[in-house]
Structure 1
């Protein structure tokens, strides 16, 4: 009896460990492969809806909307910006109404499903820049990750499997 219980618990844990995390956004109707850099340079066709993400560079409340300036990065399989890769341009995201800029602060990661509107001329330092502008349809503001634990620090893991370390 005890053996069956232990085997059942192990089977449940094994199956739960194999579960994958579903992406947050439904990408039907979203054009993939379109980057902010490509839209800014006008080298690719405009897409009606895009799924872009990155690091918030600036946020500001306007008269009737909130505008976010985002440094874009490729998205991983969870649709989270992968800052380990090279940036793929910048874009402006506009949300009708008010967003709390204390939440949408510089350095936070965000993923946005939005509708391409136009391009806006701006400056990054002294350089001129053509920002693609998207209207925010849906967004995910990601929680900050705790980077206090480094892979070079010792750690203890319990479980079944193979561990390969440096």
Structure 2
């Protein structure tokens, strides 16, 4: 009975430690490469494996395969991209197979482990933009609600703040009375 209870408790505790990427893929990643270095000279890292993420800008399927344009944001410890006001730029995540544009739609957070393939110049609006290219080994798309784990609304303490309650302005009381001091 104790063994059953111990195994159930272990299972419950370990489910919180699940990672979105397989251990095999995660071990291939060269963690010394940060996005700023990578963006400056992607050709120097060809053949290396990296892990980057961000928000999907667009998905395009061509004869060569699928191409996801990602606006880069830093990944947290849980491999979830943290939206900030500053992005490192954009990169392309490519796959020889078909990736459904409804699953990988614009605005969804994504994390990618992939092999660096170099760079590609494509139009971005009215300019030519040099995209670093990563060939997808593993990809994880987050639900938009995963970024904000609480429903919208006001989250405040249901209790009075110190000093703003029934005993205001003297606090909550206690063994001593801290009323107004009368200096003689």
- TM-score, length-scaled by structure 2: 0.66
Q: Structure 1 or 2: larger helix share?
A: 2
State the 1:50 CA deviation.
Answer: 0.5
Q: Which moved more, 1:142-151 or 1:44-53?
A: 142-151
CA distance in structure 2 between the partners assigned to 1:44 and 1:66 by the alignment: 21
2:148 maps to 1:152: no
Counterpart in the other structure of 2:117: 117
Map 1:60-99 onto structure 2 (within 5 A): 60-84=60-84, 86-99=86-99
Q: How many residues are aligned here?
A: 145
| Unaligned stretches of 5+ residues in structure 1 | 1-7, 157-166
CA drift of 1:152 comes to 2.5
In the superposition, relative to structure 1, how do residues 153 and 143 fare at CA in structure 2: closer, same or farther (>3 Å)? same
Shift of 1:153: 4.3
Partner of 1:133: 133
Q: CA distance change for structure 1 residues 93 and 20 in 2, over 3 Å: closer, same or farther?
A: same
SS at match of 1:150: coil
Secondary structure at 1:28 match in 2 = helix
Q: Which runs of 5+ in 2 are unaligned?
A: 159-184
Q: Among 20, 26, 29, which residue is 1:24 paired with?
A: 20
User: Equivalents in 2 of 1:35, 1:103: separation in Å?
Assistant: 27
Change (3 A) 1:18 1:103: closer
TM-score with structure 1 setting the length? 0.72
Q: 1-side partners of 2:112 and 2:136: how far apart? A: 6
Distance 1:99 1:39, change over 3 A: same
Q: 1:44 to 1:99 in 2, by over 3 A?
A: closer
Larger radius of gyration: 2
Aligned 8 A contact 2:42 2:118 in 1: no
What secondary structure is seen at the aligned counterpart in 2 of 1:145? helix
How far off is 1:22 after superposition? 3.6
